[in-house]
């Protein structure tokens, strides 16, 4: 019998047991274990195999005491390592309880449930919204969030902004079953009056589910909004003009057919971070080994994304520092020893970051344009040779950018490319400008020539706002990435590759056990 565990905060949580197969050293189990795939976190799995004693063969599996069975070996991997394989299969070497390799192997196969390919196209309109503006009418947009078990609202979709209108009709939106989980899980629909400062005013909100929205569409009725915290029923109503379920390719369909996420990182070395030798500096390397904010962001994001990048070679740049024997540079390689911008693995980024700290002089100003243009150049070059790579640029910064218009222009240009930009704000600066770059409230960025971004490719998260909360910085940053990837692929009608009829996969060396 095999038992599957997931590891949560260092604890093992059992998620399933297979049936018992009698008298076999090469069992093929049929019973499946269900687990919710979450792109934005690392999901470690443990597989333990037991020889069930004959006298327990009639005992219900769930009540079987594992301590009374013979332990035959265990194997470890992360869920993302299975789902990125062509045939969703991974062969792992078994180890004994003390971590020594055994003769046997276990092959794990993962498949998505059919429901996760379901999506819903919906079109909303509102009537009689409250007016929040003095000299004109409100500029409304909708934001739909999933409510977690701890009642934290996790935004999953938003409409565009409609100017000066209390009876807006928005373009259709699509929600995937990955976003809404199940048709009966709670959703929060909020209507805001857009404000360019980022301080959008809530017009009204309502709690609902996909099933209730379907009923609303069928009944052609409207649902009333409520004031903040649901204290007062408002006259403004939400209607559905379209509700259509459809099956579509999922993120994992692309990933398992050979599409890659290529990770790139850019680190802010401007003087406002403070002298790295002083403990108050945001770049201070603590002798105790406690990571600073920059190291936390690099580690957190790269640990998730590394499994989706085949060669694990990551371009890494710095900006805003005076480099040795040179002037101030706004895009220089962290890997100073070679002329190559790439470093190998997460460790390569971490060591290049710390060695750069001691070889450059922090300077300024803070410019994003050059690193975004460099990342866009790599993404653009890749498109000429195929369409199976999607690039993710992480920028970690402590402050306000000086080249806001140039940055906007470079983002608008990059919005046609297979590229997403994640920005982490560290320290206590005023990050209002960053929120404008993250077109999270339906207003797409516009370049100096009046061109509007094809899609929203920026996600900004200030570290101070999520520290100590239910959702980590990394989760907040990566939440929208599968959706941005899919939007790019679907608008270009790029399909996953057909399944490969590959030979048996080689045994995969498991990471050392950390129990």
Domains and their CATH numbers in the chain: 2-112 (2.60.40), 115-247 (2.60.40.150), 251-492 (3.40.50.410)
**In 408-435, which positions are buried (b, 16+ CB within 10 angstroms) versus exposed (e)?**
bbbbbbbbbbbbbbbbbbbbebebebbb
Nearest partner of 254 among 504, 19, 29, 482, judged by Cα:
482
Mean pLDDT of 414-427: 95
What are the pLDDT digits (tens) for 341-354? Answer: 999 999 999 999 99
> Which of 351, 343, 348, 331 has its CA nearest to residue 269?
331
Tokens of 200: 């959008």
Q: What pLDDT shows up at residue 499?
A: 66
The residues pairing with 333 across neighbouring beta strands, listed in sequence order, are 317
**pLDDT bucket at 509, cuts 50 / 70 / 90:** very low
Secondary structure tally for the chain: helices H, strands E: 12, 25
The predicted structure's pLDDT at residue 466 = 64
Residue 468 scores a pLDDT above 70:
no
Q: For residue 199, is pLDDT > 90?
A: no
Beta bridge partners, 446, equal 452
Closest CA to 1 of 72, 67, 63: 72
Neighbours of 4 (CB within 10 A): 20
Q: Which residues contact 113 (CB under 8 A, 6 or more apart)?
A: 34
pLDDT recorded at residue 230: 66
Report helix, strand or coil for 229.
helix
pTM of the model as a whole:
0.74
Q: How high does pLDDT run on average in the chain?
A: 90
- Reading the block at residue 357, the tokens are 């700290």
The answer to whether 42 and 304 are in contact (CB under 8 A) is yes
Full DSSP string of 98-152: TS-EEEEEEEEE----GGGGEEEEEEEEEESPPP--SSS---EEEEEEEE-TT--
Percent of residues, the chain, with pLDDT higher than 90: 69
């Amino acid at each position: 019998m095999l038992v599957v565990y997931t590891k949560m905060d260092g604890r093992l949580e059992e998620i399933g047991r297979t049936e018992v197969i009698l008298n076999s050293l090469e069992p093929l189990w049929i019973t499946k274990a269900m687990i919710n795939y979450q792109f934005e976190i690392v999901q470690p799995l443990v597989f333990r195999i037991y020889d069930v004693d004959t006298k327990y063969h009639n005992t219900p599996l769930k009540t079987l005491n594992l301590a009374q069975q013979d332990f035959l070996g265990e194997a470890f991997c992360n869920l993302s390592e299975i789902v990125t394989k062509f045939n969703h299969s991974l062969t792992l070497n078994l180890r004994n309880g003390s971590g020594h390799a055994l003769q046997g192997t276990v092959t794990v196969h993962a498949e998505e449930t059919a429901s996760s390919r379901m999506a819903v196209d919906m079109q909303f309109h509102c009537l009689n919204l409250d007016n929040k503006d003095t000299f004109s009418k409100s500029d409304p947009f909708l934001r739909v969030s999933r409510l977690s078990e701890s009642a934290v609202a996790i935004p999953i979709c938003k409409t565009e902004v409609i100017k000066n209108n209390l009876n807006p009709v928005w373009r259709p939106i699509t929600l995937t079953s990955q976003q809404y989980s199940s048709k009966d899980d709670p959703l929060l629909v909020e209507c805001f009056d857009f404000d360019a400062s980022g301080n959008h005013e809530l017009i009204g909100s309502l709690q609902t589910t996909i099933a209730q929205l379907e009923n609303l569409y069928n009944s052609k009725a409207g649902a009333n909004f409520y004031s903040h915290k649901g204290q007062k029923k408002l006259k403004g109503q939400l209607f559905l003009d379209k509700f259509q379920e459809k099956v579509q390719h999922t993120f994992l369909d692309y990933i398992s057919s050979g599409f890659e996420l290529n990770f790139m990182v850019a680190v802010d070395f401007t003087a406002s971070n403070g002298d790295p030798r002083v403990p108050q500096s945001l770049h201070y390397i603590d002798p105790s080994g406690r990571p600073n904010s920059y190291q936390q962001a690099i580690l957190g994001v790269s640990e998730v994304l590394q499994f989706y990048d085949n060669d694990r070679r990551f371009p890494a740049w710095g900006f805003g520092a005076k480099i040795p024997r040179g002037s101030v540079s706004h895009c220089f390689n962290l890997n100073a020893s070679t002329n190559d911008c790439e470093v190998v693995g997460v460790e390569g980024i971490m060591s290049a970051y710390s060695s750069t700290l001691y070889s450059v002089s922090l300077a300024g100003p803070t410019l994003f344009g050059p690193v975004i243009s460099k990342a866009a150049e790599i993404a653009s070059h890749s498109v000429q040779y195929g369409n199976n790579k999607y690039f993710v640029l992480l920028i970690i910064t402590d402050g306000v950018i000086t080249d806001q218009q140039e940055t906007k222009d470079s983002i608008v240009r990059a919005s046609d490319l297979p590229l997403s930009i994640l920005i982490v704000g560290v320290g206590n600066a005023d990050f209002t400008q960053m929120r404008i770059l993250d077109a999270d409230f339906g207003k797409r960025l516009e370049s100096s020539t009046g061109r509007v971004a094809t899609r929203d490719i920026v996600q900004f998260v200030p570290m101070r706002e999520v520290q100590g909360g239910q959702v980590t910085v990394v989760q907040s940053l990566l939440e929208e990435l599968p959706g941005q990837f899919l939007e790019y692929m679907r608008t270009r009608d790029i399909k996953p590759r057909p399944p490969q009829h590959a030979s048996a996969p080689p045994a995969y060396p498991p990471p050392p056990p950390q129990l």
